[in-house]
Amino acid sequence: MGLAAVLGGVQSLGVSGYDEALSIPSEHAHQMSVRIQQIMQHEANLTAVADPLGGSYFIESLGAALEERARGFLADIERQGGFLATLDSGWLHERAAENQRSQFDEIERGARTVVGVNDFDHDINPFPIDGFRGSSDAWQQAGTRLAELRRTRHQRATDAALKILAETCRGDGNVMPAMMAAVDADATVGEIGAVFRDCFGDWQVPIAM
């Protein structure tokens, strides 16, 4: 994954931990992710040239084909009225669902091989993943910190910042500065989210996924 990203010209790379699907990545998983990037940089020397695959007819043709398909899909979105219109109508969600169903069908029929899922899935693993070992009182600790924040913050300043945020949301101003001012005034994520829901409502997915 990391190699494909670098060869594709990515500007910033983060390799996922091997246990990330099971838990918060462990320290060992984090270390392995860093080592993968270091191997690519210092042993494979991928950073020695600007474009390692530049000039490859095969790669360049694949890139051109991908660009053509992307432009075609963007044109379909424009014909539907634009990106926001396709979200509201459910058209974009339906396209994603179709692709997902098609991929699942290919995996079930064996037309697409996913190693460890529908083929080569008989490995014996003597080294089970421990995962991240968290504490059992995380909720209580967060609640204690929240209570202390609300006790010590300047409540009038917080209320004023939230009021300005609500007025900005109902107007046509830039919401970001008002939201950051609310954060600076020690408004919580829940309080800011409540303002957004009160002003904009809850968005409902137009189709059942």
How does pLDDT run across 111-132, given as a tens digit for each residue?
999 988 888 888 777 667 776 6
**CA 95 – CA 107 distance, rounded (Å):** 19
Q: How large is the average pLDDT for residues 162-190?
A: 96
Residue 68: half-sphere exposure toward Cβ, Cα within 13 Å: 6
Lowest mean pLDDT among 22-26, 71-75, 174-178: 22-26
Instruction: Return left, alpha or beta for 129; rule: phi > 0 is left, psi -120 to 50 is alpha, else beta.
Output: beta
**CA 148 – CA 106 distance, rounded (Å):** 53
Q: How large is the average pLDDT for residues 13-35?
A: 89
Torsion sign (Cα): 53, 58, 61, 66: negative
**CA 119 – CA 130 distance, rounded (Å):** 25
Long-range own/partner contacts, residues 45-51 (CB < 8 A, 24 or more apart) = 46/3, 46/6, 46/7, 51/9
Q: What is the pLDDT of residue 97?
A: 92
- Is residue 206 predicted with pLDDT exceeding 90? no
Give the residue extent of every domain in the chain: 2-48, 90-122, 154-200
- pLDDT band at residue 147, thresholds of 50, 70 and 90? very high
- Is residue 107 predicted with pLDDT exceeding 70? yes
Read off the pLDDT of residues 1-11 as tens digits, 9 standing for 90 and up.
Answer: 899 999 988 88
Instruction: Please name the residues in contact with 5: beta carbons below 8 A apart, sequence gap of 6 or more.
Output: 13
Q: What is the pLDDT of residue 145?
A: 94
Q: What is the pLDDT of residue 137?
A: 87
